[in-house]
């Protein structure tokens, strides 16, 4: 796993595109794993700071309890529709997969939870030029950066 800071230093252009996607609105989507292994999706606020990516959660929230039990997660940025008149101007969508480590006091159930994210995978998808296909740029800790086009 890699910190966001390390990833962004190594891949600043991709990191910048991903941050812009997450900045379009306040609420992103978080996927966690329930006790029985089934997925749970929840709205969450994602904070990009100089020293990493953070998630904050209300005391005792189910998503926080999920992450305490199984740290694996996926984040999806807020989305906007592709502009019909100019698909190539779409900012795209971004996803981050990794693990969460609680940095708040886990013994205090009455306090908000705060988690820092270790990054395993980062993906940015947008419309190619000319429009009519998708361009998917992804980074994985073991494979580095890859670009795929889907028509």
Question: Is 78 within a domain?
Answer: yes
User: Which CATH number is 46's domain given?
Assistant: 2.30.110.10
| Contact between residue 93 and residue 134 where contact means Cβ atoms under 8 Å apart | no
| Residue 142 counted as domain residue | no
* Global pTM value: 0.94
Is residue 6 assigned to a domain?
yes
pLDDT tens sequence for the chain (151 residues)? 899 999 999 999 999 999 999 999 999 999 999 999 999 999 999 999 989 999 999 998 999 999 999 999 999 999 998 888 888 889 999 999 999 999 988 777 678 999 999 999 999 999 998 888 999 999 999 999 999 999 9
What is the domain range of residue 14? Answer: 2-124
**Confidence (pLDDT) at 94:** 98
Q: Is residue 35 part of a domain?
A: yes
pLDDT value of residue 65: 95
Q: What is the pLDDT of residue 131?
A: 84
Residue 86 is predicted with a pLDDT of 86
pLDDT at position 145, please?
97
Quick check: 74 and 95 in contact, CB under 8 A? yes
Give me the torsion for CA of 92, 49, 51, 93, rounded to 10°: -10
pLDDT number for residue 64: 95
Number of structural domains found in the chain: 1
143 domain residue, yes or no: no
Residue 137 lies in a domain: no
């Amino acid at each position: 796993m890699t910190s966001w800071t390390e990833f962004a230093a190594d891949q600043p252009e991709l990191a910048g595109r991903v941050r812009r996607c997450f900045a379009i609105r306040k609420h992103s989507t978080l996927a966690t794993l329930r006790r029985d292994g089934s997925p749970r999706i929840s709205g969450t606020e994602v904070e990009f700071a100089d020293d990493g990516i953070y998630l904050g959660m209300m005391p005792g929230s189910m998503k926080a309890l999920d992450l305490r039990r199984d740290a694996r997660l996926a984040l999806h940025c807020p989305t906007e529709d592709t502009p019909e008149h100019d698909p190539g101007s779409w900012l795209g969508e971004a996803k981050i997969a990794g693990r969460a480590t609680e940095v708040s006091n886990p013994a205090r159930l009455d306090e908000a939870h705060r988690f820092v994210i270790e990054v395993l995978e980062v993906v940015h998808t947008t419309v190619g030029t000319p429009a009519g296909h998708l361009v998917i740029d992804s980074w994985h800790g073991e494979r580095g950066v890859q670009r795929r086009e889907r028509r």
